[in-house]
A and B are shown apart, each in its own frame.
Chain A
Amino acid sequence: DAKTTQPNSMESNEEEPVHLPCNHSTISGTDYIHWYRQLPSQGPEYVIHGLTSNVNNRMASLAIAEDRKSSTLILHRATLRDAAVYYCILRDIGAGGTSYGKLTFGQGTILTVHP
């Protein structure tokens, strides 16, 4: 499985933008980039995903490098409710294989948001 590398932790102040980086230098052409987050005592929650182009939704934006070897999750205005562990995941869309469809969670980035 292609691996991702994220900082262990980041801090932000409320209402400021947050840029969460992710390196995935061994990404393959069939990997989608997914971001999930896990709030305390809850299951992981989908945030956003993309393949090559930048993506926006109501929760966040995803900026993908042109070579796809890195990406950045952008929270435009952090709130206290955004404090969570953020996971950058590569999801294999290649046909068959034991990694097909699997979400491989790393350690993620613990985001702390200060009032």
Chain B
Amino acid sequence: EAQVTQNPRYLITVTGKKLTVTCSQNMNHEYMSWYRQDPGLGLRQIYYSMNVEVTDKGDVPEGYKVSRKEKRNFPLILESPSPNQTSLYFCASSLGATRSEAFFGQGTRLTVV
């Protein structure tokens, strides 16, 4: 089954403790991205990747890092999480950047206390 898998689904952590949210897709997609969803602000893109070893900032990249060492994986790294990063995070992938449909993961609800 074609899918985007995020882990964990829920996470509560403390300020400053590094964490990684994993994202994996099984569709051989080239384009992957991370979004965060906050009430009243909608979904905003954090980072995206056009292909292996090619990543770039989205609209709200501060406080986040990503890597794309393999085509299927696109982890989101919070080196020093802060409470303002409490949010619902979604990973997405698509065959290309523009014309094709994007598949989203189920989401990771992160709480930083």
In the complex, which residues 21-53 of chain A have their Cβ closer than 8 Å to any Cβ of chain B? Answer: 32, 34, 36, 41-46, 49
Tell me the minimal C-beta distance from A97 to chain B in angstroms. 11
* A91 at the B interface (CB under 8 A): yes
Give the size of the chain A interface in residues (CB under 8 angstroms): 23
- Complex Cα distance, B45 from A108, in Å, reads 16
In the complex, which residues 75-104 of chain A have their Cβ closer than 8 Å to any Cβ of chain B? Answer: 91-93, 98, 100-104
Interface of B is mostly: strand
* A107 at the B interface (CB under 8 A): yes
Cβ–Cβ contact B31 & A43, under 8 A: no
Cβ–Cβ contact B45 & A45, under 8 A: no
Cβ–Cβ contact A101 & B48, under 8 A: yes
Cβ–Cβ contact B106 & A42, under 8 A: yes
Residues of B contacting A105 with CB < 8 Å? 35, 42-44
- Complex Cα distance, B92 from A42, in Å, reads 13
Contact with A along B3-43 (1 / 0, CB 8 A): 01000000000000000000000000001010100000011
* A7 at the B interface (CB under 8 A): no
Beyond A42-B107, A43-B107, A46-B101, 5 additional pairs, beta carbon < 8 A: A93-B97, A98-B56, A98-B58, A101-B31, A101-B98
A-B contact pairs, 19 of them (CB 8 A): A32-B98, A42-B107, A43-B4, A43-B90, A43-B106, A44-B92, A92-B98, A98-B57, A98-B58, A101-B33, A101-B48, A101-B96, A102-B48, A102-B58, A103-B35, A103-B43, A104-B45, A105-B42, A106-B42
